[in-house]
Amino acid sequence: MNKFTELYEHDFNAWIHNQISLLKAGKTNEIDIEHLIEELEDMGKSNLRELESRFIILIAHLLKWQFQLATLETQWQDFEGKSWRKTIIEQRTQLLYLLKKVPSLKQKLQNAVTEAYLEAVMLVVKESKLSKSIFPIDCPYTIEQLLDDDFYPENTV
């Protein structure tokens, strides 16, 4: 085990600071290239995973808003509606913040929504016991609608 691997595996934070120091000093021949590449790739994947995860939650709550809210008893409509609205607002806020901080994710929005929609439907089916067959095959919301603070779908039940 070389010195890079040992530090990387046993004290990741120290490894990071060591790599930063080497970069700042211009000692590029001493950098742990293999692990540095791995970490940089993971950072990019992490941003995409966050984007998809936030879309899953957002779309799931919009689907519940559209397909489940009217099926609830009156006393639950107000409670669930407020709770779902808070979650929708939070996810939109965090999505816009993520896109501001990582603008290159904008080119991956459509694919992220497509991937997230299938997961969102499965989440709603599990949570609500609604039939999967009531949901459209493709996401019924545009990216613009998903990110629009004023968009809440009409109830279709």
| Mean pLDDT, the chain, whole residue set | 91
- 1 pLDDT exceeds 70? no
The pLDDT of 84-111, averaged and rounded, is 96
The separation between CA 78 and the C-alpha centre of its own chain, rounded to angstroms, equals 27
Q: Look at residue 43 in the predicted model and tell me its pLDDT.
A: 83
- What mean pLDDT comes out for the span 102-128? 96
CA distances from 95 to 45, 56, 115, 149 (A): 16, 11, 16, 12
pLDDT in tens, 10-48: 898 999 999 999 999 999 999 999 999 998 888 878 999
Q: Three-state DSSP class for 67?
A: helix
What percentage of the chain exceeds 90 in pLDDT? 69
**Cβ count near 16 (within 10 Å):** 15
pLDDT tens for residues 127-138?
A: 988 899 999 999
